[in-house]
Structure 1
């Protein structure tokens, strides 16, 4: 357990962390420069998230205060809920701070867990061996034994892809995992759809059986038009042609993403799969370790984004359409017509296309 020394700041208790020993093997000891770089990478990732929520604000102020203390050569501290509320500039009575932060911290843990891969990617692209992570340490209970909050530094896990040195003007992308799917798909794909067992069979049935169903419906409509002995009224012909067009369009809309995903491994996610709050989301079929020495293809909703090297705004991926057929390209949110970049899913980098 950490050696703890109490200090006081503005009348509130902070906890000075002197050392961390082997009971927390995931926590990694690094020099101050690397910790500062990890904090900068973490803050850079938070800026990519767009609108700042209360949960992300708490993470940001913890990281910024930790960075400030390191820059001033001060010891790192853990904060109680009152401290965090003050740093986040949230007006809440001291006796209600714990309840306020408990709800926000639960949301923060969920959001960061979904985006841990992206946080690791940013740190890895910066050439670091650690990444910053907000931590809650549960108190023993009772007066003066409240939970505390701080930033810890964790060792980066091994990665198949080594960081790629960026050429001048190039962009580095980071990934958000487990974005919110549409409500009707949430249980099925929330944590990824691994193509093994019944899921693999269902995926193949959808991809192969879907065209068969659409083809059968079109054949039935064609037979209805061509095998009648009596002359078919013009209105009925128009109705049958209309239904045939609807069947064909729906079949293409639902089945085209399947075949494009098989071919390209990553495509823009159809809107039907997404929550209304999500934008710029991709559907990716990535190869991941299965735990038995083999690999399994897992379909996930992901989002790649980066910081535009020209203007500093956020870059999101879009379908390349006719100009860049079969490709996803990164477009700057502020200058989408001019600041355009390629996208390499393996290296998570891109070069200027304009």
Structure 2
């Protein structure tokens, strides 16, 4: 760990964050990462870096700036690549950490009584020999109003669960270019998204209608109408499975996202949400986003994931504990972000 001994210490600015607040922010981020449980390499590098920084602060050291070589030493990896090249692909993901997880982190800090949270940040090198980019954790305080909503009572089975939007989901490659601005679809991008699905719907309807006509007037159009009827039923069912999430999105404002919209590694427990834009007081302007809601189970402290209600709770999304999914089932109030045990 020789490389770790070369990181630069900085004195914590008391006007920005006390050492206690900074440690609280680090612990908040650590707890959040353990809850989200993303296991890709950038997140594992972040976890190793975070664990090392928490250890140093707990031992009384000041907050530090790390270069790429320090972070590679934290992760315990060696290779032929230079440290900066090794870190480039990792930072490409971590650079979007706030956009993907900022909302969830704020909720997590408020619910668990932390004074704030930390985010991975980068101080870009000015260039020149011996100058390298530095990486550090930036502390963000949680306002008093947010902290007041934290849970202070002991958890019981009747304790309402508090959901957080822990992740804005990485979209599939074909829609990724539409979601470049904050993982959301709004304005012309949103309507282009709807036009795509409406085009598919119109195509399916025209094809099914053509097949029905051919079945009635088969001697004019097709010799084997049975083949076309079977194909029409197949295409109709597939079209409905593909388009029904969009219908439910309009009706219920949130639904489980079709697998076609999400990257393969994000395919589980992903929701498609139609939300009002924060700056629109009238609520007329809407945006679409791919998200994942979760909570902590008050019964067994397992992770609650939002899933379809199925036959027992038709038309609803419910929170199911990953440890006891059949019994630890909770409602989901999208606006208040809370749920109660469903008996």
TM-score bracket for the superposition, by shorter chain length: 0.7 to 0.9
CA contact (8 A) 1:164 1:347 kept: no
CA contact (8 A) 1:130 1:156 kept: yes
Aligned residues: 334
CA offsets, 1:268-310, max 9 Å, x none?
0112222222221111111113579875211111111233334
After the TM superposition, which of the residue ranges 157-166 and 101-110 deviates more from structure 2? Answer: 157-166
- Pairing partner for 1:15 from 8, 11, 34: 8
Aligned pair 1:114/2:103, yes or no? Answer: no
Match of 2:117 in 1: 131
Aligned pair 1:254/2:242, yes or no? Answer: yes
Per the alignment, in what secondary structure is the counterpart of residue 330 of structure 1? strand
In 1, the alpha carbon distance for the partners of 2:248 and 2:269 equals 17
In 2, the alpha carbon distance for the partners of 1:214 and 1:139 equals 55
Cα distance, 1:343 vs. partner?
1.9
Structure with greater strand percent: 1
Gaps of at least 5 residues in structure 2 are none
In 2, the alpha carbon distance for the partners of 1:197 and 1:183 equals 19
In 2, the alpha carbon distance for the partners of 1:293 and 1:348 equals 21
CA contact (8 A) 2:169 2:291 kept: yes
- Pairing partner for 2:45 from 52, 58, 73: 58
Cα distance, 1:189 vs. partner?
3.9
Cα distance, 1:258 vs. partner?
1.8
In 2, the alpha carbon distance for the partners of 1:74 and 1:160 equals 29
Match of 2:210 in 1: 220
CA contact (8 A) 2:112 2:150 kept: no
In 2, the alpha carbon distance for the partners of 1:291 and 1:89 equals 48
**Aligned residue runs from structure 1 range 177-326, under 5 A:** 177-190=167-180, 191-194=183-186, 196-197=187-188, 199-200=190-191, 203=194, 206-207=197-198, 214-227=204-217, 236-278=224-266, 279-289=268-278, 296-326=285-315
CA contact (8 A) 2:211 2:225 kept: no
Root-mean-square deviation (CA, aligned residues, Å) is 3.6
Match of 1:6 in 2: none
TM-score by length of 1: 0.78
Gaps of at least 5 residues in structure 1 are 1-8, 22-27
CA contact (8 A) 2:214 2:225 kept: no
In 1, the alpha carbon distance for the partners of 2:287 and 2:145 equals 17
In 1, the alpha carbon distance for the partners of 2:105 and 2:73 equals 26
TM-score by length of 2: 0.80
Per the alignment, in what secondary structure is the counterpart of residue 12 of structure 1? helix
Match of 1:352 in 2: 341
CA contact (8 A) 1:85 1:92 kept: no
